[in-house]
Structure 1
Amino acid sequence: MTKAIRNLNPDMVINTMRACGHRIFEGELNLNIIGVRHSNTRANTFNDAICVLYQQGGEWQLKQYKATTDAGLYWRKHPMNVDGTAVLIAGQHLSLWTLGYHQGKYRALVQHKPVVVLRDNNQDDELDTNTTPHAELQQGYFGINCHRANSKTTSTQVDKWSAGCQVFASPSDFDEFIALCEQSAIKYGPYFTYTLLDQADIKESINHGI
């Protein structure tokens, strides 16, 4: 079984963000939403993490949630788009999301700006995260949202829950996350930047003592 992303702390995430040259938002409850993609992109499980880094009372806080940054196995083998399964590229996506409703059903973060995705079109169980003859870059509005899986219980298999969205495994975790977003939006507005890191980025910052 694939191990989940290790428990992170504010210093590890801040050091990694700086090492990657990403912007860090400061200020009381000014949220940094950060995904960490597991090195195993074959798994159909919630083995990734979505973290929220923010200052509260002048101190950095970090909340880490079990999530997936990859499409589920069903959509890898049966792409929703004729060009292939959407794979959000790693990097910092400024003002990617705004508060809205996922599929018009419940409060979530929905795509606000064009974004670059890979289109993995070889329909196997391994998601391509780098450009290959079977994975080409596209930019546009693809409905790359941040939402939850099951509304009542914590999900273990991704399956159809994600066709490229960033998805929380636990509905209670997601409720806590959205509550933070709502609080932050009162002061900073309804737009949120999303930074997607690879698991190797975290390891590299630790190994080099950055």
Structure 2
Amino acid sequence: MSRELQINAAQLKSAMQMAGYTLFSEGDYNLNLIGIRSADIHNDGFNDRFCVLFSVAGHECLLQFPCTTDPGTYYRENPLNVDGSAIVKPDQYPGLWQLGQHQGKYLALVQRGEITVYRDADGDDQLDTDGIEQSGYFGINCHRASKTGIAKQVERFSAGCQVIPNLWDYNVLLSLCERAAAEYGNSFTYTLLTEQEYRAGGKT
């Protein structure tokens, strides 16, 4: 993510609307979970953004955390799948996640609906989105990186999942999801925007 890019709620909502995506606005803690993918296609850091947009008692709230929406360099160069590493295609995925166990180890947002990924099969460190597309169930979860502190590099923390490096940020996200699940059910829509789509939202 470009250093100068600052996420604000008005521009984020505008970008979502321009893309034709649903925004949840009725009720408290009705969460919009939105990833923004950086234009940098070589970076192995947590240079993307994970945004949580919602309202409480009529007041709009926007939380944003560093994250990765991409597989780390290790899995770009060493794909787990014979077709290539999984890169989530920007889109809105209704009911994609539910609260559950990531690999049976700890609480996370785990895939329960179909998602579309690009397959990057050339084995270099660059993110390539011009390969084949596949839709289905690939275990694309939202989970943390290190179980302590803050991870600096993606490395093996993501083979395609959406991953948050800061444990405290992650715990805040899960707390919000638990609150939302109690009110609206254990189902969460995820929207992935590109940096270009977000920037376009500021030009209306």
TM-score (norm 2): 0.97
Check the 8 A contact 1:85/1:119 in 2, yes or no: yes
TM-score (norm 1): 0.94
Alignment of 1:127-146 (within 5 A): 127-129=127-129, 131=130, 135-146=131-142
Name the structure 1 match of 2:16: 17
Check the 8 A contact 1:41/1:70 in 2, yes or no: no
Runs of 4 or more, structure 1, over 6 Å off, are none
Secondary structure of the 1:45 match is coil
Q: Which amino acid aligns with 1:18?
A: Q
Check the 8 A contact 1:154/1:169 in 2, yes or no: yes
Show structure 2 runs of 5+ residues with no match: none
**TM-fit CA distance, 1:5:** 7.1
Aligned length: 203
CA distance in structure 1 between the aligned counterparts of 2:4 and 2:99, rounded to whole angstroms? 27
Give per-residue Cα distances to partners, 1:117-174, cap 9 Å, x unaligned. 1111001111113x3xxx1011111000000000102111000000000000101100
Name the structure 2 match of 1:65: 65
Name the structure 2 match of 1:31: 31
Show structure 1 runs of 5+ residues with no match: none
Q: Which amino acid aligns with 1:147?
A: H
Secondary structure of the 1:69 match is coil
CA distance in structure 1 between the aligned counterparts of 2:197 and 2:19, rounded to whole angstroms? 8
Alignment of 1:1-210 (within 5 A): 3-4=2-3, 6-26=5-25, 27-129=27-129, 131=130, 135-206=131-202, 208=203, 210=204
Provide the aligned C-alpha RMSD in A: 1.1
Give per-residue Cα distances to partners, 1:16-70, cap 9 Å, x unaligned. 1111110001121000000000000210000000000001111211000000000
Check the 8 A contact 1:5/1:48 in 2, yes or no: no
Secondary structure of the 1:22 match is coil
CA distance in structure 1 between the aligned counterparts of 2:85 and 2:184, rounded to whole angstroms? 33
